[in-house]
Amino acid sequence: MPNFDSAWKEALDVYFEPFMAFFFAEAHREIDWARGFEMLDKELQQITPESEEGRRVADKLVKVWRTNGQDEWVLVHVEVQSQQERDFGRRMFVYNYRLFDRYNRKVASFAILGDNRPGWRPNRFGYELWGTNVSIEFATAKPLDHAADEAALESNPNPFAVVVLAHLKTLETAHDDEARRVSEVRLVKRLCERGFRPEQIRQLYRLIDGMMDLPRPLAVSAWKEIDDFTRERNMPFITGSDIALREEGWAEGLANGLAQAREDLLRGIGELLDLRFGPSGRTLLSEIRPIEDLDLLRKILHGVKQADGPEALRRLWAKA
């Protein structure tokens, strides 16, 4: 399963200026990069509509200075949307006006449409009522538009071109893990051949590896091939700490997946208990909740459908 959200979030943190140069060159030219910029992620969270607090997103709010001869700072709001969403334009509208209302500063909104549908290109939202017109039109870019010229991406000196190429290869290999492994290895080898500094390669490798998110055996195979390749050229960059971090990530992902599976089972059991046994069923759930064994919880879930009463169900976990 590709991990677009975290990879794009990290890419924007590390390569915000190259990102703007790659996708939005005109805006990039009007930002005074010599004055630096400030990430305002916590501030963006404060204006997120309550209904979207649990939504996994790759969005950024950045304070930048303009090169217009005035001492003026403005806000850059970036949304990365990796799948089609019906109300996307409305969400951009809501974020923009909330940011303007909070800071009383101009807000430029940019959207990266990272899905695989060429025709999905929302770039506005608005409405009219009795002579009142309210609307927003925002700038968009679609990585898919660069798919036809991979050679240009591979030769582009902007490091964000590598992120875009990794995104495209992840979409292209959605149903072929081995092809994705081959693509990851090729991408990283090309970084080495093009003379990127070791630290740059390590950073881009982490982004590529995180975005492509190979199954563990294939990820290990990719590591080994890349490591052999770089050692032959006396330029190894995969360290023991890199491998340890990835192992830690696997362990955390496995733990999170098991915890979510357990919660899903308990939710299903609770709904069935309530449906079949009413208040007495809800009492049973408090007895079932401490059970950690997923196989046993699955047996209980199926048992609820067949048991003729609470006592028959209790016998299921009493035997365990």
Residues 122, 159 within the same domain: no
Residues 123, 32 within the same domain: yes
Residues 305, 216 within the same domain: no
Residues 108, 207 within the same domain: no
Measured distance CA(247)–CA(209) in Å, rounded: 13
Number of H helices, E strands in the chain: 14, 7
Number of domains in the chain: 3
pLDDT for the residue 163:
93
Measured distance CA(167)–CA(37) in Å, rounded: 26
Residues 163, 46 within the same domain: no
* Residue at 243 is within a domain: no
Residues 131, 209 within the same domain: no
Measured distance CA(308)–CA(288) in Å, rounded: 17
* Residue at 256 is within a domain: yes
Single out the residue of 227, 150, 153 nearest to residue 192, CA to CA.
227
pLDDT for the residue 139:
96
Residues 57, 184 within the same domain: no
Residues 298, 184 within the same domain: no
Of 180, 207, 238, which closes a domain? 238
Of 216, 238, 260, which closes a domain? 238
Residues 9, 131 within the same domain: yes
Residues 224, 296 within the same domain: no
Residues 93, 26 within the same domain: yes
* Residue at 103 is within a domain: yes
Q: Which residues, other chains included, contact 90 with Cβ-Cβ below 8 Å and sequence gap of 6+?
A: 125
Residues 157, 217 within the same domain: yes
* Residue at 285 is within a domain: yes
* Residue at 245 is within a domain: no
Q: Which domain holds residue 11?
A: 4-141
Over the chain (320 residues), what is each successive 10-residue block's mean pLDDT? 76 93 95 92 70 57 89 92 89 92 94 92 95 95 93 91 94 91 91 82 85 83 83 67 52 60 77 74 78 79 75 73
Pair of tokens at residue 312: 């028959």
Of 238, 272, 291, which closes a domain? 238
Strands 73-81 and 58-65 turn out to be antiparallel
* Residue at 283 is within a domain: yes
* Residue at 260 is within a domain: yes
Pair of tokens at residue 213: 């998110």
Q: Using an 8 Å Cβ cutoff, are 316 and 299 in contact? A: yes
Question: Is-above-0.85 flag for pTM?
Answer: no
* 107-113: strand order across its sheet: 38-39, 58-65, 73-81, 107-113, 139-141
pLDDT for the residue 56:
45
* Residue at 215 is within a domain: yes
Residues paired with 169 in a beta bridge: none
Q: Using an 8 Å Cβ cutoff, are 216 and 250 in contact? A: yes
Measured distance CA(127)–CA(108) in Å, rounded: 20
Single out the residue of 194, 255, 188, 254 nearest to residue 225, CA to CA.
188
